Amino acid sequence: MISDNEFRKVVSENLQYYRKLNNLTQLQLAEILNYSDKSISKWERGESLPDLYVMQIIAELYGITINDFVTEQKTKPKHKLKHSNLLITLLSVGIVWLVATTVFVLLGIFLPELEKKWLAFIYAIPVSMIVLLVFTNIWGNRIQVFSALTVFYWSIPLSLYLSFNYQQLWLLFIIIIPLQILTILWFLLRRTTKIVIDSKGELEHKTE
């Protein structure tokens, strides 16, 4: 019969193995589960283990079963989390553009005399960026968040400038310049500390 220490070792190694297989950091997994990254680190060191309910959530997230966490034999997940996340994100953004296209078509049918019907697509840009920001904050990386923020910033004054016949609205773009600079500085200063286990089994921190 397997001992308690051996069982903890198997589970902790599997938790770490499947997390890395799905290209998630401890911090990203913690945000998805609404736990702290310290809890994830303790699980992967075998100091404590998640309860069955949390393990079931993690297993579904990785496309495996709870049994895969408690056996030494590694199972190939049914799906890659990264690919699944990408598909969900693209589907959500696609829905935004479907709505924009529908609005454009309906305006063309019922209000053909209306000018600037194409603005429906312009408005879809900031809305798409909001959707991207939601998902990239959950499972994306810093570059994706920064890119979505940048497009969102500049698409807002663009939408207003193209919507109204008022030339002075170009001044709105000036407001975005310091905002963009502050965002760049914030992302440069921001550091994510990851807790990892070195080759000796000791805890260390990495800053990226």
Q: What is the pLDDT of residues 146-186, one digit of tens each?
A: 999 999 999 999 999 999 988 899 999 999 999 999 999 98
Per-residue pLDDT, 190? 65
At 112, the pLDDT band (50, 70, 90 cuts) reads very high
3-state secondary structure of 207: strand
Per-residue pLDDT, 76? 66
Per-residue pLDDT, 208? 44
CB 21 within 8 A of CB 79: no
Residue 67, pLDDT above cutoff 80: yes
The pTM (predicted TM-score) of the whole model is: 0.58
* Lowest model confidence (mean pLDDT) among 37-41, 99-103, 122-126: 37-41
Comparison of pLDDT for 185 and 74, the residue scoring more: 185
At 79, the pLDDT band (50, 70, 90 cuts) reads low
Neighbour tally for 183: CB within 10 Å: 16
Is 1.10.260.40 the CATH number for 4-79? yes
Instruction: Give the C-alpha distances (Å, rounded to integers) separating 23 from 11, 16, 83, 108, 196.
Output: 19, 11, 10, 45, 14
**CA of residue 42 relative to chain centroid, distance:** 23
Residue 196, pLDDT above cutoff 80: no
Residues of the chain with CATH 1.10.260.40: 4-79
**CA-based torsion, 38, 42, 47, 49: positive or negative:** positive
Residue 201, pLDDT above cutoff 90: no
Comparison of pLDDT for 135 and 84, the residue scoring more: 135
